[in-house]
Structure 1
Amino acid sequence: MSAPALELTGLKKSFGKAEIIRGIDLSIGKAERHAIIGPNGAGKSTLFNLITARFPPTAGTVKLHGEDLAGLEPYQINRKGLSRSFQITNIFPKMSVFENVRCALLWAQGYKYSFWNLVSRSRGLNEGADAILEQINLLERRDVAAGLLSYAEQRALEIGITIAGGADVIMLDEPTAGMSHSETDYITDLILKVTAGKTLIMVEHDMGVVFGLADRISVLVYGEIIATNTPELVRADPKVQEAYLGAALEAEH
């Protein structure tokens, strides 16, 4: 039996006396689409930061495909096949859409620190960037400065940057935050397309997106997971309704 794509065991994080993550055990299978939901202040972003080594855990382990990630830097974890986006759009606004994606491809294409390589002459690199732009529906915008894209297009570009390195575990932090219904539909369809066959882990507040994308959902409340199950069973769970889901669904109507 193969190892889970991501496995958290006894994961804790404290800042001083404040315990933010209180002992999380979670296993996410390969090619699973997993959503983490919960009220503001539940610890969702902290959990993402623990997984990607932006914060060191106070206790517990994070394993990627069975390998303990303890002691690794974020860039090292990325090179092992885990990539993430952030709540705040993280692009190079003055560079073109194409150049943003090409930068993300450099390491995956083996360029590393070879400064004498002229990337503009690399056919494979440029074709790879164009292929990603086509996948995220931005090929026609390839030469536009990234900062001039619409908000939804910028989020799409960030997703393209996230997948450019070839990671098989993709973490998206509130990918549809601040979007209209049409923009949300656009990004949801895009996420389904670009993460096909990959493991997707996302934090998301829009319950329509969560129930439309996720195979399983974990509900995080005050640093603890109170339920992990299929969308249908999570929706029906009285503990979840009391702690979070009822209020969240009502807020959308």
Structure 2
Amino acid sequence: MTHALELRNLKKSFGSVEIIRGVNLDLRQGERHALIGPNGAGKSTLFHLISGRIAPTSGEILFQSQNIAGKPPAEIVRAGLSRSFQITNIFPQMSVLDNLRCAVLWKLGHRYSIFRQTPTLPDVAIECERLLDQLGLTRRAHDTADSLTYPEQRALELGLAVASGANTLLLDEPMAGMNHSETEAALQLIMKVTEGKTLLMVEHDMGVIFEMADRISVLVYGQIIATGTPQEIRANRAVQEAYLGTSEEDAA
């Protein structure tokens, strides 16, 4: 079986405090994999390690069989792995279209230049138009990003991750702060935009997780305590006691 991403005995300590304690995890090519766990379990730290924001203390991060542990974020993105953040991370004073152009330029092999007028690049224009339509943001193309509603800003951030050309995406709580109808719309958008891609997602909404994920891994105190299908995770006694808050006895 082909793995898009593998974590091998990954550890991260800050001083004497060990946050990630020997994580082993494989992400299969084309699967939607969810990472769940209580607050403080180390989920965001794990994402920072994979995306290159911080370097591991030890262990390996294999992306497409190449060890990317400790490599800078820009190099990791160019290799085909991109992420969104728990807090919206866009260029607020730029237009929606220009936000997307920044990502698309690199994907299509162009480089930034003050002498080049990006609107004259037909491949960039076509790709941006496609993304705007896919994200449902065509009518907001020339509005500044900070004028978008919160769900629209999250959609734009998802678009930036996809626009980079990445085949593997890390999504950090993409539904945070949304109501039920917004969450449902965001879920459908993510499933559409990430079709055919490999996805690792942190999300606290268990309804979203069980509807979307092919497999789920549970992180508790910096260690993976279980990995399996949604049905297997629901039935796992250790997961019920450590995270879901129920046990078979409670349910009986």
TM range (shorter): over 0.9
> Which residue does 1:162 correspond to in 2?
161
**Residue 217 (structure 2) pairs with residue 218 (structure 1):** yes
Distance 1:7 1:172 in 2: 17
Query: Which deviates more, 219-228 or 93-102?
Result: 93-102
Helix, strand or coil at the partner of 1:171 = strand
Q: Are 2:10 and 2:22, in contact at CA under 8 Å, matched by a contact in 1? A: yes
Q: Are 2:49 and 2:69, in contact at CA under 8 Å, matched by a contact in 1? A: no
Helix, strand or coil at the partner of 1:10 = strand
**Percentage identity across paired residues of the two chains:** 57
> Which residue does 2:4 correspond to in 1?
5
Helix, strand or coil at the partner of 1:167 = coil
> Which residue does 2:230 correspond to in 1?
231
Mapping 1:77-96, distance limit 5 Å: 77-96=76-95
**Residue 122 (structure 2) pairs with residue 123 (structure 1):** yes
Helix, strand or coil at the partner of 1:176 = coil
> Which residue does 2:198 correspond to in 1?
199
**Residue 243 (structure 2) pairs with residue 244 (structure 1):** yes
* Alignment size in residue pairs: 246
Tell me by how many angstroms 1:160 deviates.
0.4
Runs of 4+ in 1 over 4 A off after TM superposition: none
Mapping 1:14-163, distance limit 5 Å: 14-163=13-162
Query: Structure 2 length normalisation: TM-score?
Result: 0.95
Tell me by how many angstroms 1:112 deviates.
2.0
Distance 2:73 2:36 in 1: 23
Query: Structure 1 length normalisation: TM-score?
Result: 0.95
Tell me by how many angstroms 1:70 deviates.
3.2
Distance 1:222 1:71 in 2: 22
**Which runs of 5 or more structure 1 residues have no equivalent in the other structure?**
248-253
> Which residue does 1:250 correspond to in 2?
none
Q: 1:11-35, CA deviations, whole angstroms, 9 ceiling, x for partnerless residues?
A: 0000001100000011110001000
Distance 1:166 1:29 in 2: 19
Helix, strand or coil at the partner of 2:227 = strand
Distance 1:69 1:45 in 2: 18
Query: Which deviates more, 105-114 or 28-37?
Result: 105-114
> Which residue does 2:182 correspond to in 1?
183
